[in-house]
Amino acid sequence: MRAFSSALDAIPLALAENSGLSPIETLAEVKSRQVKENNSTLGIDCLGKGENDMKKQNVYDPLISKRQQYLLATQLVRAVLKIDDVIVAGEADAE
> Over the stretch 6-65, which tens digit does the pLDDT of each residue have?
888 898 999 999 999 999 999 999 999 999 999 988 989 888 888 888 889 888 888 888
Domain assignment present for 51: yes
Which of 33-60 are b and which e, b meaning 16 or more Cβ less than 10 Å from the residue's Cβ?
Answer: eeeeeeeeebbbbbeeeeebebeeeeee
**Domain range for 76:** 2-83
Number of domain units in the chain: 1
Phi first, then psi, for residue 53 (nearest 5°) are -80, 110
The answer to whether position 94 is within a domain reads no
The CATH number of the domain holding residue 37 is: 1.10.560.10
pLDDT of residue 93: 58
What separation in angstroms does the CA of 58 have from each of 25, 70, 74, 80?
A: 24, 23, 29, 38
Helix, strand, coil percentages for the chain (3-state, nearest 5): 60, 0, 40
Would you say residue 90 lies in a domain?
A: no
The reply to whether 89 falls in a domain is: no
Q: What is the pTM of this model?
A: 0.64
The answer to whether position 27 is within a domain reads yes
Task: Kindly state whether residue 62 falls inside one of the protein's structural domains.
Answer: yes
